[in-house]
Chain A
Amino acid sequence: MEHKIIDFEQGWEKIQIGITALKRKSECLHVPELLAQHTIDIYTIVYRMCTQKSPNDFSWPLYQKYCETMEEHMNSTVLPALNEKRGDEYMLLRELVERWSNHKTFVKSVSFLFLYLDRFFIVRRSLLSLEEVGLGCFRDLVYNKLQCKIREAVLALVDREREGEDIDRKLMKQVLEFYVEIGEERYEEDFESSMLKDTASYYSCKASSWIQEGSIDDYLLKFEECLKKEKERVTHYLHFSSEPNLVKVVEHEFFFVHENQLLEKTHSEKQISFGSIAKIFKQHVTEEGGEDNKATNDQVASAKEQVLIRKVIELHEKYMVIECFQNHSTLFYKALKRAFERLCSKAVAGSDELLATFCDKIILKRWGSEELSDEDIEKVVTFLAYISDEKYLFAEFYRKKLTLRLLLNRGVSDDHERSILTKLKQQHGGQFTYGENEIGLTVTLLTTGIWPSYKTFGINLPSEMVKCVEVFKEFYEKKTKGRKLTWIHSLGTCHVNGLFDQKPIELIVSTHQAVVLLLFNTRDKLSYNDIQTQLNVGHEDLVWLLHSLSCCKYKILTKEPATETVSRTDVFEFNSKFTARMCRIKIPLRHVDDRKKFIENVDKDRRYAIDAAIVKIMKGRKALGHQQLVSECVGQLSRMFKPDIKAIKIRIDDLITRDYLERDMENPNMFRYLA
């Protein structure tokens, strides 16, 4: 079917009828809707005008006409209507919100008529889309002209609210949403900066009069109240991004600006102002702590750590005393807390471990001489609050030390251990000490899951030991059903009688060391390889065992060649010339599970926690953006520990591989849950 060519005037006339109808509709709700058929007709006309062959291709003129229509509508209707209301804040803002919402509908419906332009012509020429043009007109022709008026109106209302008036918060919210809608930078540049300035001048005025009138206490109370109100304002109608800036401004006006006045006043009133003192105090504490650190830096590494912890605790104690003669000093507490938090995280790397070791040391030391005082424990426990992030690590370290104390029977008393645990629990919640309480205090059978995992490696036991083990196993299996017995030889101790030439000496060694020594019962000389084949132990572990027997303080075995390290080609011989002053000696075995390995273990535990959190979140949400998933995950886990973003990413990658999640096909920043 051949269509007649539509010339421009003829076509535009028809389109204009439609636009006028839509305009009227956007002004007033009582006008009937534009009929669907009519809309389609106009769409078709546009379509044909755009697809006719040149010179009858009217795409460009139509686009221009569209722009003109929008501009004209702004200048002839919207702007005058707003100008009329500029005298009254409420009227102006209401009109603005209504006009903006009407305009959005209007743009939508008109651009629908010109949809064909949007799809092809505009894309090809990379022009601004119809919607951008339409909404842009409002911004450029209406908003830009009234910008100042609008801002003044909003700020005036905010000030009125600060003075206690009830204002229309819903309207405020709509206006501020409008700012964000026409461009986030408009909110920041046109509104937020002025709002902050306004806030500053408001409070600078208030603060200087309040500081004259009342006591410092009143002043502080006022400050807290204002801060609360400003935060409330953010939740009710401001954009959430404004909160930190707003808080900063208020704090600044209250404290920095009036710092001298505050100090003078405290002097004259002979009262202590928490706010300013707290700040100075914080600085002081941090500095003093820093000096302590420097001072101890020169000392021997291991001793230094202990000294450091003790010093920090002493420091803490010193300043906790001050707090006694103050009644409600939240600010002060906060300052103290922040100072110590900074100190711990900055100066004392691994403070968690140090603290746990410190606990261990004082517990052991006090046992010998005097009763362990509650105060000591209390100190440690309170102090723990400052190493918030690493609490989890502390718990792990503590658990480890506790179990070692219990297993090695270092004269520990039940009651003391329990009292420490109770204290920890009071301060840090039940979850923290879960497990510790369950550890039986005198039993040497450990329940897996509650006791930390120990490094175990297989070793061929000599027949004497095997016999004993079998007997016990039989007994245990008879007594309890369905339980698995795992031997942790690395924690065992043995007493071995060494028949040396001068005198027999009782050697206290670990099970592993004993096993090595027993080999020399039958032969005096053994090569590294002989030992390895007989014991069936990994290279690393065997080196560790042999080193303790041949290269350390007590050389029970002599080594050829007599070097400080053990290698595969060495030959070992029983050192019959060995002797010692005492007739019973303990041969130490350095603990291999160093900090790095230990943290690895903790990381492993955390991995499961992160996995669980991610799966839980995704199960609820089904689909979620990357950023959001990460932040929710951090939120969920923050009660236990502060997860590393990297760690979360690795877990997400892993869950994708394991088909718990998938990446969205269209949007690589989005993940979906796979049920």
Chain B
Amino acid sequence: MHKLSRTNRDKLQQYVSITGASEKSALQALKASDWQIEAAFDVFYSQPQPKSNDPYSDMILAEGVSVLCSDLQVEPQDIVTLVLSWHMNAATACEFSREEFVGGLQALGVDSIGKLQEKLAFMRSELKDEQKFYDIYSFAFGWAKEKGQKSLALDTAIGMWQLLFAEKEWPLVNHWCDFLQDRHNKAISKDTWAQLLEFARTVNPMLSNYDAEGAWPYLIDEFVEYLYDKSVVDK
């Protein structure tokens, strides 16, 4: 190995500790950028990361997410984690890929845990915005379902509904969940998921403007009948 000057050796160590690269590649990178460490970082970060065989190697997984939550001082089941995931456009619950995480933070204009924590109040307020709520609700389906599945497991769906409708009041939410457990007991399709919000938004709790001839998914029609049967609502 060449003898390096003290400053260059420091730069090499700094480079290795930050990028996690091997000493050899660090040396190459620094030489290529003429020992300008900033320039070498630029090159490092602009290059695509070498692909590893393990698809999870570059991801924050369940453990990481729980560390993140405790750093942010929020419960993992706090709805704000859903809003955060929505900002990051995360594909699956309890996981962030590097791209998702970095992209989301950039979009939020956040570069430290403190700043992210400051954003939480804003994120909670976003749920009160009708359009954003709609987006977050739609996003939640794909996010919460198991990878490779088309529909959302019933337990998960019910959990998500209770979480979401705690934000946007819908008086029938508990009846809906009871109904599903009682009569349906199967996974929830994407269409039913989407149409339920539409139903909650457009049909009043007395069901006076419900149109039985409309294109509501079958499950929602059944739900309405269930409400009449149980005389929750008078016909």
Taking Cβ atoms with an 8 Å cutoff, the residues of A that contact B are 625-627, 646, 649-650, 652-653, 656-657, 663, 668-671
Contacts and interface: CB of A to CB of B under 8 A. Distances in A.
B214 A653 contact: no
B198 A668 contact: yes
Interface string B187-212: 00111101100100000000000000
B151 A653 contact: no
Interface stretch (B16-24, B85-93, B174-182, B217-225): B217-225
29 contacts: A625-B215, A626-B214, A626-B215, A627-B213, A646-B218, A646-B221, A649-B217, A649-B218, A649-B221, A650-B218, A652-B218, A653-B189, A653-B191, A653-B192, A653-B217, A653-B219, A656-B191, A657-B151, A657-B190, A657-B191, A663-B194, A663-B195, A663-B215, A668-B195, A668-B198, A668-B215, A669-B214, A670-B215, A671-B215
B6 to A, nearest CB: 64
B131 to A, nearest CB: 14
B115 interface: no
Interface string B118-157: 0000000000000000000000000000000011000000
B1 to A, nearest CB: 60
A657 B215 contact: no
Nearest to B187: A657
Contacts of A670: 215
A197 to B, nearest CB: 31
Nearest to B198: A668
Contacts of B214: 626, 669
For chain B, the bracket of interface size reads 10 to 19
A669 B199 CA distance: 12
Given A646-B218, A646-B221, A656 B189 contact: yes
Contact of A669 (B151, B191, B215, B217): B215
Contacts of B219: 653
A560 to B, nearest CB: 38
Given A627-B213, A663-B191, A668-B198, A657 B218 contact: no
Contacts of B191: 653, 656-657, 663
Given A626-B214, A668-B215, 16 more contacts: A626-B215, A627-B215, A649-B217, A649-B218, A650-B218, A653-B189, A653-B192, A657-B151, A657-B189, A657-B191, A663-B191, A663-B194, A663-B195, A663-B215, A669-B214, A669-B215
Given A663-B191, A663-B194, A668-B195, A653 B218 contact: yes
A646 B213 CA distance: 10
A649 B150 CA distance: 19
A607 to B, nearest CB: 13
Nearest to A654: B189
Nearest to B191: A656
Contacts of B189: 653, 656-657
Nearest to A663: B191
Contacts of A627: 213, 215
Contacts of A668: 195, 198, 215
A663 B194 CA distance: 10
